[in-house]
Structure 1
Amino acid sequence: MGLLTKGTPLTWPELLPYVEYIKLHGIAQFIALYHRLKERHGDQLRWGDEIEYTLVKFDHDAKKVRVTLRADDILKSLQAQVEVNNIIGNENCTQWVPEFAGYMIEGTPGQPYGGLLACFNVVESNMILRRAEVSRLLKKDESLLSISFPALGTPDFTYPPTTPNPDDPEGAGRSLFFPDEAIYQGHPRFKNLVRNIRGRRGEKVAINVPIFKDIKTPSPFIEHFSNPEHALAAKHDHIYMDHMGFGMGCCCLQMTFQAVNIDEARWLYDQLTPITPILVALSAATPIFRSFLADVDSRWDIISASVDDRTVEERGMVPLKNNKFVIKKSRYDTTDCYIYECSAPYNDIELEYDEKILQQLLDGGIDIHLAKHIAHMFIRDPLQVFKERIEQDDTKSTEHFETIQSSNWMNMRFKPPPPDNPSIGWRVEFRPTEIQLTSFENSAYCCFVVLLTRVIISYNLTFVMNISKVTENMKRAQKRDAVLNEKLHFRSKLATCDTPPEAKKAGVAKEPSYETVEMTVNEIINGDGNEFPGLVPLIRQFLDGADLDVDTRCTITQYLTFIQQRASGEIFTLAHWMRQFVQDHSKYEKDSHVGDEIIYDLLKIVSF
């Protein structure tokens, strides 16, 4: 969702004079918050999930499905229901917030889950409750799906009907395919982000996804556009898209964990980072874009390109003149550095950062590893600033810090406590998981990652490797049927860090020894039959030493068994199943195009 502040949003030309001011004060705000809360200790494990849903409307006569732009109306009813019934704080309640598109809503538990293993007995029921709350507000032929809509950008894909206007000088996106009316209209953040990303970049975003080559797919596959800008941006043998909505209009599952203290949060951030590509492959669920079968199974690189605000200079296409850096990645990508002390030897990616910002952090008492992470994040400019919010008290507010932090969409996010909520501590956010069809599947992924954090902490395990290999793994994890066919870099055997979190202040930082090999996802999850035992067997070993009641043991066992079977291929990923459904459909012409009737039949099966 990101930072939702009230006010008058500045366009990119209006924002530009304040960029350096906001960065300077954003760093000052972080330094002040850090010193105020760095000694905070003793917080319990609390965690929660965020699920993004898609609202669709079935046209049974035409055998067509459209996204329905009723998110704002439904959100108002949901939020009013919470307020009227005064149920915030009740473990069975839910909360709802807007997302990027006018057909999306995001649901979370009303309060975080606790550290007791018994909490896994209520996760799935809370997700079921969320669906039920929305379902009561749906009209005839509408449905709530936890899926990324496969026909975004096709003609007549919204209800009510909307028409893209790429020539509108006042348009936010000026897309050939995705109308501005499909952006969520209830808050200015989303439309302004689209406008400012395009404004900063100097042109529209260009998303090119390799097309899946079937028997009758033209070779080369070429889409013809009369506008020279689109003709140059669209690559042969790729599906072309030109709007933030094609990425941020997809749905995902995210999890946030509260740590005991800042050291544990930094430790978990590092150890979970190499896990992120594994979850991309395990949860693959997005093989169709603009009604074409793609040769990838994940939305990750598509979102990355959809918010890529780098200029031609920053992308290295022309020499630097007006910009400071050539930046290797979009602001939505894999993280480039670890932040805990004993992980530092594996930071083998050269970081871009402004020396003045780094020095400001060091002079402010931030250690070099965290300072480099923050300074590298601040090579990005703010994209969302409100006219009324420029002048702030840096000792009380973190809004300038968060406007940059919340628009650096990495696979992991290190989250300081909010300055105005003393009940929330240092946290990490796990961001790469694709949304699944059912509450059971989504609960299983949550259960798996949460339990893995407990194993990491309890056994003091380290999974860090050269961070460049995490970037490589993320590329491999998105490929078609990566869970079955790709090998990912991973540690060949279990290891612990020479400097566990509680020993950091003792000053015993040594470079830990390690060796990585290439393993399948199945070997990483279930064990390689040699030295690496597998992540799920490690979790089961941890549970054997825990005091578990029968119900909790049964719930967790079902979830872990599902994860194991998906890793082994016994249970298909959603992406594999969708691709197979399309290829087996009588209306599919083996040309990579997924027609309206095929999508209608597909979504009719998965609707609830």
Structure 2
Amino acid sequence: MGLLSKGSPLNWEETKKYADHVRKHGIVQFLNIYNKVKERQKDVLLWGDEVEYMLIEMDEKNGKVRLVLNGGEVLETLQDKGEKTNPNHPTLWRPEYGSYMIEGTPGQPYGGTMSEFNTVEDNMGKRRREASSVLNKNETLATITSFPRLGCPGFTQPEYKPTPVEKGVSKSLFFPDEAINQHPRFSTLTRNIRHRRGEKVVINVPIFKDKCTPSPFVEKFPEDDGEAARAALPDHIYMDAMGFGMGNCCLQVTFQACSIEEARYLYDQLATFCPIMMALSAASPFYRGYVSDIDCRWGVISASVDDRTGEERGLEPLKTNKFRILKSRYDSIDSYLSSCGDRYNDIDLTIDEEINKQLLDAGIDKLLAQHIAHLFIRDPLSLFEENIYLDDENESDHFENLQSTNWQTMRFKPPPPNSDIGWRVEFRPMEVQLTDFENSAFVVFIVLLTRVILSYKLDFLIPLSKVDENMKVAQKRNAVQEGMFYFRKDIYKGERIRVRFHSSSAAQNGLDSEGDNEYTLMSIDTIINGKEGIFQGLIPILNCYLENMEVDVDTRCTILNYLKLIKRRASGELMTMAKWMREFVDKHPQYKQDSVITDRINYDLLRKCDSITKGEERCPELIGDPVNRGK
């Protein structure tokens, strides 16, 4: 979850005093890095995935599942047995926001050869076995995006009660501070977001209206001092803490490009896939013990860290704040970075003009300058007393302070100072899946797509405002089957590529002229699998690419199995995790068609999930036929 500094955290009033200092030195640090490595070329195409896990306890006697708040101890044990003993250990473990969460990555990045795709699932399996081996009896490792009863009474082990009226960092009605990771960064972020905003964060998720759901659905909160009553919307599930967003799990992939130019190009191209992959990986339909009317966590997590004041949100005239800011600091990107993306930058971009001028005067081009100047309209949220005065030539903590708390769909990552790491981009929108097979399939699909994009210089760019519209559609219930997404019709820049891949009928529907004819609304099935006369489909393109590559039989079999899962999810032949979970709850004998997920329903659901994850039960409607998985 970004920069993890050690030391004495400052409260918001103290942090605020140093905000300009952090921004000023953050820009100097960025310029120092840029000037040292801007000409760097021919870095190896490396990549890696990040999987976030929840620690849960299965209480069979009482029919309850609880989140186990011992992530710190589990993490320390894993690190002691792994990287601290052997620097080349095949797995790495890192903390996450929840004290019931850990994050696992491969010990070393994967390389550019096709055979690397055959090792991803094995490494994820190692991670799962490693972490599971240090858990207590009745505890298990879950790759679920959102715990269905997060914030309900007794959802943690040990049990803690929220402290809305006492001293604390979140003052949530539902989420106890003990469920937050004990590293001071996480509690400091939570407290300072609330203080900067001037109130608790407000999260309202539309409830799914079932046959017996009250209409209107309105909750009463016994310990509310009036804030929740003002903030909660009718027919919505109300939440009030950072933990409801950052306490969810996701699946991310980071790529090292050959150069800064290639990283910027890849950043732009992948940005258009963020809504598509989010909808395909949809896995979070339940919040605070209720069935919602959305399938993805993105809007929840965006609201959970929204530190904007009323002035910045446009609710009041600007007096004490400098900018009207249109989005939360956790949202979709606001500008393309490559030269080919410039003409599609049609979103109003709020930038710090002084910083923008400083960057331009220092020789940074317009697109990169405005990107950084946009990130730096934010204030630092977490600052440690020991880290105020730094060596700008050899450190980057002030730059990373703001960079790492702009949680966008894509992240453009300069190399750390004095390292052999290259220019990187991070793909961040995907929801985590139940099994290592599914997570590997999503990772391999997006990595393979980057290889094709870079090899053939494909162009998937559309106006950024259309990507934002796609993001809204992607979160809706059953968006894979029912949503329509803006997507580019002709993705080829050269006739040689067009001849290689294009069917004749698809070619006739290509790029007719400038403007709206470049893109059209498509279903995810059309985007992934293709439709005659509209778009040839990503899977056929990837298959053509594979046919032209030297790939050993085992690797090819593995890749084709992964592509088959993506293909069948897109067509609706297989369910998304979100749809599967909805159907499980709907068919549960205790479900009363009232949108309520009881402890018993939650226990049975997560027991089923655990059995599928461990391979004890088949789930052909979600994964397909395991016999055909080639594993």
TM-score of the pair, normalised by structure 2? 0.92
- Which of residues 597, 602, 608 in structure 1 aligns to 2:600? 597
Please give the alpha-carbon distance, in whole angstroms, between the structure 2 residues aligned to 1:199 and 1:363.
Answer: 35
Task: Letter of the 2:42 partner, please give it.
Answer: G
1:239-297 deviations in whole A, cap 9, x for unaligned?
00000000000000000000000000000000000000000100000000001000000
- Pairwise mapping of residues 440-589 of structure 1 onto structure 2 (< 5 A)? 440-496=437-493, 515-589=518-592
Structure-1 residue corresponding to 2:113? 116
Structure-1 residue corresponding to 2:621? none
Task: Letter of the 1:284 partner, please give it.
Answer: A
1:228 offset after TM fit, Å?
1.2
Please give the alpha-carbon distance, in whole angstroms, between the structure 1 residues aligned to 2:532 and 2:10.
Answer: 57
- Pairwise mapping of residues 69-148 of structure 1 onto structure 2 (< 5 A)? 69-83=69-83, 85-86=85-86, 88-90=87-89, 93-147=90-144, 148=146
- Which of residues 199, 207, 211 in structure 2 aligns to 1:211? 207
1:83 offset after TM fit, Å?
4.1
Q: Does 1:29 align with 2:29?
A: yes
Please give the alpha-carbon distance, in whole angstroms, between the structure 1 residues aligned to 2:534 and 2:238.
Answer: 44
- Which of residues 215, 228, 231 in structure 1 aligns to 2:229? 231
1:290-346 deviations in whole A, cap 9, x for unaligned?
010000000000000000000010011111110111111000000010011121000
1:493 offset after TM fit, Å?
2.4
1:606 offset after TM fit, Å?
1.1
Please give the alpha-carbon distance, in whole angstroms, between the structure 1 residues aligned to 2:34 and 2:539.
Answer: 35
SS at match of 1:255: strand
RMSD: 1.4
- Which of residues 170, 174, 179 in structure 1 aligns to 2:176? 179
Task: Letter of the 1:123 partner, please give it.
Answer: V
Please give the alpha-carbon distance, in whole angstroms, between the structure 1 residues aligned to 2:173 and 2:256.
Answer: 42
SS at match of 1:190: helix
Kindly, what percent of the aligned residue pairs are identical? 56
Q: Identify unmatched segments of 5+ residues in structure 1.
A: 501-510
Task: Letter of the 1:270 partner, please give it.
Answer: D
Q: 582-591 vs 219-228, which deviates more?
A: 219-228
1:512 offset after TM fit, Å?
7.3
Please give the alpha-carbon distance, in whole angstroms, between the structure 2 residues aligned to 1:22 and 1:5.
Answer: 14
Structure-1 residue corresponding to 2:407? 409
Task: Letter of the 2:595 partner, please give it.
Answer: S
Please give the alpha-carbon distance, in whole angstroms, between the structure 2 residues aligned to 1:217 and 1:536.
Answer: 41
SS at match of 1:597: helix
Structure-2 residue corresponding to 1:149? 147
1:398 offset after TM fit, Å?
1.1
TM-score of the pair, normalised by structure 1? 0.96
1:89 offset after TM fit, Å?
2.5
Structure-2 residue corresponding to 1:375? 373
Please give the alpha-carbon distance, in whole angstroms, between the structure 1 residues aligned to 2:31 and 2:558.
Answer: 43
1:85 offset after TM fit, Å?
3.5
Structure-2 residue corresponding to 1:222? 218
Structure-2 residue corresponding to 1:4? 4
Task: Letter of the 1:204 partner, please give it.
Answer: K
Structure-1 residue corresponding to 2:500? none
Please give the alpha-carbon distance, in whole angstroms, between the structure 1 residues aligned to 2:534 and 2:492.
Answer: 11
After the TM superposition, list the runs of 4 or more consecutive aligned residues in structure 1 that deviate by more than 4 angstroms: 511-514
Whether the 8 Å CA contact 1:172–1:195 is kept in 2: the answer is yes
Whether the 8 Å CA contact 1:66–1:156 is kept in 2: the answer is yes
Structure-2 residue corresponding to 1:196? 192
Structure-2 residue corresponding to 1:337? 335
SS at match of 1:50: strand
1:397 offset after TM fit, Å?
1.2
Please give the alpha-carbon distance, in whole angstroms, between the structure 2 residues aligned to 1:108 and 1:193.
Answer: 24
SS at match of 2:119: helix
Structure-2 residue corresponding to 1:15? 15
1:117 offset after TM fit, Å?
0.5
Q: 15-24 vs 77-86, which deviates more?
A: 77-86
1:9 offset after TM fit, Å?
1.1
1:539-568 deviations in whole A, cap 9, x for unaligned?
111111100110111000000011000000
Please give the alpha-carbon distance, in whole angstroms, between the structure 2 residues aligned to 1:211 and 1:263.
Answer: 44
1:59 offset after TM fit, Å?
1.1
Please give the alpha-carbon distance, in whole angstroms, between the structure 2 residues aligned to 1:220 and 1:44.
Answer: 57
Please give the alpha-carbon distance, in whole angstroms, between the structure 2 residues aligned to 1:133 and 1:47.
Answer: 22
Structure-2 residue corresponding to 1:39? 39
Whether the 8 Å CA contact 1:342–1:497 is kept in 2: the answer is no
User: How many residues were matched structurally?
Assistant: 591
Structure-1 residue corresponding to 2:389? 391
Whether the 8 Å CA contact 1:461–1:497 is kept in 2: the answer is no
Structure-2 residue corresponding to 1:250? 248
Whether the 8 Å CA contact 2:344–2:463 is kept in 1: the answer is yes
1:588 offset after TM fit, Å?
0.3
Please give the alpha-carbon distance, in whole angstroms, between the structure 1 residues aligned to 2:20 and 2:358.
Answer: 13
Q: Identify unmatched segments of 5+ residues in structure 2.
A: 498-512, 615-631
Whether the 8 Å CA contact 1:493–1:531 is kept in 2: the answer is no
Structure-2 residue corresponding to 1:60? 60
SS at match of 2:317: coil
SS at match of 1:107: strand
Whether the 8 Å CA contact 1:285–1:574 is kept in 2: the answer is yes
1:530 offset after TM fit, Å?
1.4
1:532 offset after TM fit, Å?
1.5
Q: Does 1:433 align with 2:414?
A: no
1:421 offset after TM fit, Å?
2.2
Structure-2 residue corresponding to 1:508? none
Please give the alpha-carbon distance, in whole angstroms, between the structure 2 residues aligned to 1:220 and 1:34.
Answer: 55
Please give the alpha-carbon distance, in whole angstroms, between the structure 2 residues aligned to 1:297 and 1:211.
Answer: 11
Please give the alpha-carbon distance, in whole angstroms, between the structure 1 residues aligned to 2:371 and 2:169.
Answer: 31
Please give the alpha-carbon distance, in whole angstroms, between the structure 2 residues aligned to 1:69 and 1:153.
Answer: 14
Please give the alpha-carbon distance, in whole angstroms, between the structure 2 residues aligned to 1:357 and 1:536.
Answer: 43
1:350 offset after TM fit, Å?
1.2
1:494 offset after TM fit, Å?
2.2
Whether the 8 Å CA contact 1:284–1:297 is kept in 2: the answer is yes
Q: 1:335 to 1:84 in 2, by over 3 A?
A: closer
